[in-house]
A and B are shown apart, each in its own frame.
Chain A
């Protein structure tokens, strides 16, 4: 028993080294004075300076944030509706097709989603006239479409695991179905909706493939900017940019994790106190 645990813990150690050594190496090399990105030439923070004076990066970041906020918010509204529909309305016309439509984007290779959206937008521009050109609008529409199904998945599974009796209790106390939704269901699934929004936001901030197909000239999101540079090879200023992004995201996730952990522990302590009070 002891020996098998040693093996498993060693594997855990290797696994985490595998996860984090490349990222740490990237962070270290962002402080490399040498222009050759992979050869160490002394410590320097000059690439951060170069990065901060680069107006392109700031513009791309703003654009990415704009698209991510608009698309994730819309995706959360639509995705939550779909999740509620699938979890609570067991019978309506076209339900099978609907649940298929909600699952398909999850497993559709991004390339295919990308070219199908692109062809669609080109034909729309030609035959309908809207959206007239590719750019902000088309990217946002595409992001909404493929991130809303992630929200749906989260909301739907939360709804299915929620206690239906509380909804029945609300109905029993005189609430109409839609008031039950507003007063009971939505508050209960609020954490799921929030994590759905966060997921949709990161998916939008992170997307390369679909954005690359649906964007037009002048609309360069941050991942597209990085993508176009990275294709040419490893450069120290990208190391610096990557370090900033990884650290920002890492700290946010860490803070969220610590907060959740603390809330959980507090809830646990309260529960214990309540039990003791009963005894």
Chain B
């Protein structure tokens, strides 16, 4: 009986049903709880929220505070500017690297690609930690920077050491460091597929190398730029580990705010409201990404 059912349609029901059910229970329901929680009221009970009963069914205090309390506004601004900064820097460093990778010969290219991917597999936390060692005021790297700074600027501006740790700059720098492979890999995949005879055709028609890049390579790599940009921007905007370790705690990023509201302040409804707001903010860039992705795929199919 069971064997017959399995052969006929049971196997396909299982293949679809099991992962579906799992994601419904362990992803969708928790997510919906957070959305519901953002409309709840904070109480001193355990768990610390109330819903209905003596509390209003829909409490919008959390959302109202998002727009009135400067803490949240500043956190959002800090997150978005840091993420955007990291994205732009990743592009500026990653683009020439990805293009350079397409110009080295095959054997070397595989080795170099592996070296780009290698940090992916090593601990994220340790990569952040490696920079903590470099940025501290006594480190060789900081002394090097301080020396360079003091040599470059007039004496009046001399500093004992360059303040790196616990600044927004440190956050951006470490985000660039940890997310750079996310920029390089999609860009490389895109650039590598471009037809090199197009470059030759442009040169043949009178373009110098820079004009070839501007007219031929760059416009064709826009899908790669967008993919890489989103892969950096989206995780960077919600980053928690990097700002906690190297960031300025007086100007926290949004991930830190959510975590603090939840754990330290035990204000679950507020944490949920901030989380929902962060998601809504991210929908915009994600839609742009999805649209470009769909268009690129449609073009590929047409060719």
Contacts and interface: CB of A to CB of B under 8 A. Distances in A.
Interface of A: 1, 3-5, 7-9, 11-12, 14-16, 18-23, 25-26, 29, 36-40, 78-79, 81-82, 84-85, 89, 92, 94, 98, 101-102, 104-105, 107-112, 114-120, 122-123, 126, 141-142, 144-146, 148-149, 152, 176-178, 181, 202, 205-206, 208-209, 223, 226-227, 230-231, 233-234, 238-239, 242, 245-246, 249-250, 252-254, 257, 261
Interface in B1-41: 6-7, 11-12, 14-16, 18-20, 22-24, 26-31, 33-34, 37
18 contacts: A12-B97, A18-B177, A26-B126, A26-B130, A29-B133, A38-B136, A38-B138, A94-B20, A101-B28, A105-B27, A115-B275, A119-B33, A145-B26, A152-B19, A206-B123, A208-B241, A226-B125, A230-B132
A107 B285 CA distance: 11
A123 B139 CA distance: 47
B80 interface: no
Contacts of A40: 140
B29 to A, nearest CB: 6
Chain B interface mostly: helix
B67 interface: no
Given A11-B97, A101-B24, A112-B34, 6 more contacts: A4-B209, A9-B100, A12-B112, A22-B134, A81-B15, A176-B7
Nearest to B236: A109
A40 B138 CA distance: 10
B292 interface: no
Most buried by B among A3, A144, A250: A250
B248 to A, nearest CB: 15
Contacts of A23: 119, 122, 127, 130
B18 to A, nearest CB: 6
B87 interface: no
Contact of B245 (A110, A122, A231): A231
A104 B33 contact: no
B99 A8 contact: yes
B288 interface: no
A116 B118 contact: no
Given A22-B130, A116-B33, A8 B100 contact: yes
> Nearest 10 A-B pairs (CB), nearest first?
A109-B238, A8-B100, A120-B30, A11-B96, A82-B19, A116-B30, A22-B130, A12-B100, A101-B23, A145-B26
Interface of B: 6-7, 11-12, 14-16, 18-20, 22-24, 26-31, 33-34, 37, 47, 93-94, 96-97, 99-101, 103-104, 110, 112, 114-119, 121-134, 136, 138-141, 177, 180, 184, 203, 209-210, 213, 234-235, 237-241, 244-245, 255, 258-259, 262, 268, 271-272, 275, 278-279, 282, 286
A269 B119 CA distance: 31
Given A11-B97, A119-B33, A110 B238 contact: yes
B23 A206 contact: no
A169 B272 CA distance: 52
B133 A25 contact: yes
Contact of B22 (A145, A177, A234): A145
B132 to A, nearest CB: 5
Contacts of A238: 129
Given A109-B238, A254-B114, A22 B131 contact: yes
A216 B130 CA distance: 28
A119 B268 CA distance: 9
A25 B141 contact: yes
A121 B184 CA distance: 38
Given A81-B15, A112-B278, A119-B30, A234 B129 contact: yes
B131 to A, nearest CB: 5
B113 to A, nearest CB: 9
Contacts of B117: 253
Given A22-B134, A26-B133, A102-B23, A227 B100 contact: no
B22 A107 contact: no
B134 to A, nearest CB: 5
A107 B275 CA distance: 13
B133 A208 contact: no
Contacts of B37: 119
Nearest to A40: B140
B96 A7 contact: yes
B125 A25 contact: no
Nearest to B231: A107
A101 to B, nearest CB: 4
A181 B16 CA distance: 14
A19 B119 contact: yes
